A and B are shown apart, each in its own frame.
Chain A
Amino acid sequence: MVMGDLVREVDVAVVGGGPGGYSAAFRCAELGLETVVVDLDKRLGGACLFEGCIPSKALLHVAAVLSEAERAREFGVDFGEPRISLDPLRKWKSERVVGKLARGLAGVARGKNVEVIGGRAAFEDARSLRITGDEPQKIRFKHAILATGSAPAGLPGVEIVSERVMDSTAALEVPDVPGSLLVIGGGYIGLELGQVYAALGSEVTVVEMLDGLLTGADRDLVQHLARRCERMFKAIRLGTRVSALRDTGGGVEARLGDGEPETFDRVLVAVGRRPQTRELGLEATRARVTERGFVEVDARGRTADPHVWAVGDITGEPMLAHRAMRQGKVVAEAIAGRPAAFDNVVVPAVVFTDPEVAWCGLTETEAAREGRAVKIAKFQWAASGRAATLGRSDGLTKLVVDPETGRVLGVGIVGPGAGELIAEGALAVETALLAEDLALTIHAHPTLSETLMEAAETLLR
């Protein structure tokens, strides 16, 4: 027998070791299914752990410490000018943060008897995968779960290969602190990384094609963030396209809109992510892929092929790790014969900028677009005791409420800690609580969580 003919028989083969993949694999194992994960890098964590959520939050924490230290002068504490050493910073991020979590996931996999196979997987037919790479083999499965995630999208119409032009993965490595940085894309990735580099000392210019930052979120929430960005960044150019990029040797020359070419030390392209479904050999199965490259799935996560399931970014928007993790558990339970379904009402969205912006459920913008009648309850943080003690009145908590029943349909929050506060909003919307329930629940004083109660109280009057 030669290596290429090694055939492995399993109940479930998971392709992709990101949050969707490992959640599915762990749950499958818990339910007694023999499960393997095939991952290109033979590790669990995926883009989330190695080039997304986790490293970016580690860097944003550094940015927050820097800006807090700076603000401390306001109340008479001066730490002096910060001295930033990139080597210890990178080491801390990759070893103490990412490395520690990666070892944790590997340990969980061992504990649950989930083997991680290194290599690239492609379907040979609807019941088997061919693995190429370090551990070539053939896997026959009863069910396959695709969780291959997404990758940063390139700038359409602009072809350039230059190490000065980074995607989010490269930027998270912090190769240096460029004197000037052009961020292409005013979405959450561009703003988060833009703020990291601005805090580290770069002069940041953000250019956005649409006429607002963070276009998915309600404008009144974005307003507080936009004000902060205006102070942190050298310039924000809205409604502007980047028509050309050229590596001049000493920098990157960019043409923004109709203006004269400007030169930046580095460029970060953050114009979204695209699903990775090519090269999977999906044509060998009955699974269907949309024009944009997303795999079509039903409420349980099953594709048009009864043996092939999919979770996470490749199944569509919003491309968020926590959505993928829930989908992974649903698919595992569905495969095990349980009546599971991804029927979640909310997938909370959090932008980890300073201030943070978070929302869940119905937004005011969506309600207006759908012509749906809603009541809006707002509480400005200027009136919050806790916000005052933090020196941060740049916040707003907003409830979107059904006018007939008083049910909370959506919650939006901007302000420091909004990402944590949104959990209560998600619980309220997911469990169909009334605004009254929030108003009548005692919230600890003084906390920012009171702003949810206060907003709800405005509806009782």
Chain B
Amino acid sequence: MARAFVLPDLGEGLTEAEIRQVLVREGDVVREDAPLLEVETDKATVEIPSPMAGRVERIHVQPGQTVKVGQVLVEFGDAGAPGGKQAADTLDPTRTPAPEPKTVIADGRAKQAPAAEAPARREGPVPATPSTRRLARELGVDLNAVRGSGPGGRVTDDDVRAAAGPAPATPSTEPAPTSARPAAPAPPAVAKPLARVGVEPPPLPKFEQWGPVERQPLSHLRRTIAERMTLSATLIPHVTHFDRADITDLDAVIRRNLESGRGRGVTLTLTAFLLKAAALALLDHPDFNASLDPAAGELILKRYVHLGVAVATERGLIVPVMRDVDKKTILELARELAALAPRVRDGKATLDDLRGGTFTITNIGALGGTGAIPIINYPEVAILGVARAREEAVVREGRIVPRLLLPLSLTFDHRVADGADGARFASSIIRRLEQPDSLLLGL
């Protein structure tokens, strides 16, 4: 016998809601309390949890559809209801008791912060193992505010991690630059409030009073970028160090080898050399190849050098990651880069292409400008901005000579490093760019 699950009473006098997303597919076996659907009311976006464990037999609704309280959303089959102790009476379609609707984005709170949501009524201590409770302390998560997904409402490590970080926990959540799945067809953009970090932005003025306006919802990628940039700029005290590298010699190396590179199907670019120079400099300055753990009061030094390369796409900024850059030759890096960048632009990058970076390089040279202050790709420690190289008049031994100068801007986390450290690290990149033979030797 199939059991129908209807839109529960959402409270606050709401009678209807719009289906935003269907989070399960027909045939899926779900556990009790697993998210089924995301619906949007005029007050908030609400995740509707499954009232039972079981197999989803039929889905009666689709995104964009408006449903009324009491309308059938999903039908469950009998199969696979191991946890269905209460299933028999819970699922009487005529009197389905509403499982506590899981408010995901009420009054401007984002789904990435389920900690914001009041968990179901709970007496006594929060059900969680001691190790999970320790994890919550380490991540600064208030267990009382976390809804437990485990048996009997037990809060699991995953629940705590989901409550702690802005990192999306499931593929159904918004793609982030570091975990995007650009290959998936992007659902139509619908306006949602951004995740808040610390300070509550003051209300905006009514712009209509000065003229007509148009409201455009942010795309998923735009939202994610906005949230992550806010997070980074709010949490990290940024410092930017400026310098210029004389790449006249490096440019000559590139030009001399352009043809032979092409012969091997590789286009030598400045970026490949930048990657190598940064990777070798990071080996000498491990503090910049790290992440700060403020809760533990520790600096997490990464014994691998995976570099992110910011790529502008039509949809927004995406940062694919190149692995073990310190161990690869410049030719290998150039080849990998040449293969990766178009994949990212065409939205075909895999999740692994976008995760695990330790330091980021953003090259804004193609579009001109004399320099820019990049924002750190949270939770990394530093980011290197590269502007367009220009031939400039340089005084050398009393004579003016034309040299090719590359403006660099190194932004770093002032909690981790001081100005002198930043200057030394930048110099160690510049030295390698100015003496290309050091790159050849891996020095």
- The residues of A with any CB-CB pair to B shorter than 8 Å are 337-341, 343-345, 362, 372, 402, 405-407, 409, 430-432, 434, 436-437
Chain A's nearest CB lies how many Å from the CB of B325? Answer: 34
Chain B's nearest CB lies how many Å from the CB of A159? Answer: 43
Q: Is the interface of A mostly helix, strand, loop or mixed?
A: loop
A340 to B134, CA, bound (A): 7
Write the B129-155 contact mask toward A (1 if CB under 8 angstroms, else 0): 110011001101000000000111110
Contact of B13 with A by CB under 8 A: no
Q: Cβ of B150: which chain A residues have Cβ within 8 Å of it?
A: 432
| A-B contacts, 30 listed (Cβ < 8 Å) | A337-B297, A338-B296, A339-B137, A339-B138, A339-B140, A339-B295, A339-B296, A340-B134, A340-B137, A341-B133, A343-B125, A343-B130, A343-B133, A344-B130, A345-B125, A372-B123, A402-B152, A405-B127, A405-B151, A405-B152, A407-B153, A409-B124, A430-B129, A430-B130, A431-B129, A432-B129, A432-B152, A434-B151, A436-B151, A437-B151
**Minimum CB distance partner of B121 in chain A:** A404
Please judge, given known A-B contacts A343-B133, A402-B152, whether A432 and B127 are in contact too, CB under 8 Å. Answer: yes
A252 to B332, CA, bound (A): 96
B interface, how many residues as a size bin?
Answer: 20 to 34
**Minimum CB distance partner of B85 in chain A:** A406
Contact of B128 with A by CB under 8 A: yes
Cβ-closest 8 pairs across A and B: A432-B127, A405-B152, A339-B137, A407-B152, A431-B129, A432-B154, A345-B125, A434-B152
Q: Select the residue from A339, A431, A437 with max chain B CB neighbours within 10 A.
A: A339
Q: Cβ of A409: which chain B residues have Cβ within 8 Å of it?
A: 124
Q: Cβ of B152: which chain A residues have Cβ within 8 Å of it?
A: 402, 405-407, 432, 434
Chain A's nearest CB lies how many Å from the CB of B83? Answer: 10
Chain B's nearest CB lies how many Å from the CB of A132? Answer: 37
Chain A's nearest CB lies how many Å from the CB of B410? Answer: 30
Chain B's nearest CB lies how many Å from the CB of A178? Answer: 46
Taking a contact as CB atoms under 8 Å apart, the answer to whether A405 and B137 are in contact is no
Chain B's nearest CB lies how many Å from the CB of A410? Answer: 10
Q: Cβ of B124: which chain A residues have Cβ within 8 Å of it?
A: 345, 362, 409
Write the B107-137 contact mask toward A (1 if CB under 8 angstroms, else 0): 0000000000000000111011110011001
Q: Select the residue from B124, B128, B138, B152 with max chain A CB neighbours within 10 A.
A: B152
Q: Cβ of B130: which chain A residues have Cβ within 8 Å of it?
A: 343-344, 430-431
Taking a contact as CB atoms under 8 Å apart, the answer to whether A432 and B295 are in contact is no
A431 to B151, CA, bound (A): 11
Chain A's nearest CB lies how many Å from the CB of B52? Answer: 15
A86 to B264, CA, bound (A): 95
Q: Cβ of B128: which chain A residues have Cβ within 8 Å of it?
A: 432
Q: Cβ of B129: which chain A residues have Cβ within 8 Å of it?
A: 430-432
A406 to B150, CA, bound (A): 12
Taking a contact as CB atoms under 8 Å apart, the answer to whether B127 and A407 are in contact is yes
**Minimum CB distance partner of B153 in chain A:** A405
Q: Cβ of B127: which chain A residues have Cβ within 8 Å of it?
A: 405, 407, 432
Chain B's nearest CB lies how many Å from the CB of A66? Answer: 40
- The residues of B with any CB-CB pair to A shorter than 8 Å are 123-125, 127-130, 133-134, 137-138, 140, 150-154, 295-297
Q: Select the residue from B127, B128, B134 with max chain A CB neighbours within 10 A.
A: B127
Q: Cβ of A402: which chain B residues have Cβ within 8 Å of it?
A: 152
**Minimum CB distance partner of A407 in chain B:** B152
A340 to B152, CA, bound (A): 26
**Minimum CB distance partner of B139 in chain A:** A339
**Minimum CB distance partner of A299 in chain B:** B137
A343 to B136, CA, bound (A): 12
Q: Cβ of B295: which chain A residues have Cβ within 8 Å of it?
A: 339
A341 to B151, CA, bound (A): 25
Q: Cβ of A406: which chain B residues have Cβ within 8 Å of it?
A: 152
Chain B's nearest CB lies how many Å from the CB of A439? Answer: 13
Q: Cβ of B134: which chain A residues have Cβ within 8 Å of it?
A: 339-340
Q: Cβ of A432: which chain B residues have Cβ within 8 Å of it?
A: 127-129, 150, 152, 154
Chain A's nearest CB lies how many Å from the CB of B92? Answer: 19
A224 to B90, CA, bound (A): 42
A406 to B152, CA, bound (A): 6
A407 to B126, CA, bound (A): 11
Given contacts A345-B125, A405-B152, A432-B128, 17 further A-B contacts (CB under 8 A): A339-B137, A339-B140, A340-B134, A340-B137, A341-B133, A341-B137, A343-B125, A343-B130, A343-B133, A405-B153, A407-B154, A409-B124, A431-B129, A431-B130, A432-B127, A432-B152, A437-B151
A239 to B137, CA, bound (A): 47
Chain A's nearest CB lies how many Å from the CB of B123? Answer: 6
A431 to B124, CA, bound (A): 14
**Minimum CB distance partner of B297 in chain A:** A337
**Minimum CB distance partner of A340 in chain B:** B137
A337 to B137, CA, bound (A): 12
Q: Cβ of B296: which chain A residues have Cβ within 8 Å of it?
A: 338-339
A343 to B133, CA, bound (A): 8
Chain A's nearest CB lies how many Å from the CB of B139? Answer: 9
**Minimum CB distance partner of A336 in chain B:** B297
A196 to B123, CA, bound (A): 41
A402 to B297, CA, bound (A): 39
Q: Cβ of A437: which chain B residues have Cβ within 8 Å of it?
A: 151
Q: Cβ of B154: which chain A residues have Cβ within 8 Å of it?
A: 407, 432
Chain A's nearest CB lies how many Å from the CB of B23? Answer: 24
Chain A's nearest CB lies how many Å from the CB of B394? Answer: 50
A340 to B297, CA, bound (A): 13
**Minimum CB distance partner of B154 in chain A:** A432
A250 to B141, CA, bound (A): 66
A402 to B121, CA, bound (A): 13
**Minimum CB distance partner of A341 in chain B:** B137
**Minimum CB distance partner of A434 in chain B:** B152
A365 to B154, CA, bound (A): 25
**Minimum CB distance partner of A337 in chain B:** B297
Q: Cβ of B151: which chain A residues have Cβ within 8 Å of it?
A: 405, 434, 436-437
**Minimum CB distance partner of A431 in chain B:** B129
**Minimum CB distance partner of B131 in chain A:** A431
Chain B's nearest CB lies how many Å from the CB of A74? Answer: 44
Q: Cβ of B297: which chain A residues have Cβ within 8 Å of it?
A: 337
Q: Cβ of A372: which chain B residues have Cβ within 8 Å of it?
A: 123
Q: Cβ of A407: which chain B residues have Cβ within 8 Å of it?
A: 127, 152-154
Q: Cβ of A340: which chain B residues have Cβ within 8 Å of it?
A: 134, 137
**Minimum CB distance partner of B129 in chain A:** A431
A339 to B135, CA, bound (A): 9
A171 to B200, CA, bound (A): 66
A405 to B122, CA, bound (A): 10
**Minimum CB distance partner of B152 in chain A:** A405
**Minimum CB distance partner of A435 in chain B:** B152
**Minimum CB distance partner of B295 in chain A:** A339
**Minimum CB distance partner of A362 in chain B:** B124
**Minimum CB distance partner of A370 in chain B:** B123
A234 to B150, CA, bound (A): 53
**Minimum CB distance partner of B151 in chain A:** A434
Chain B's nearest CB lies how many Å from the CB of A399? Answer: 13
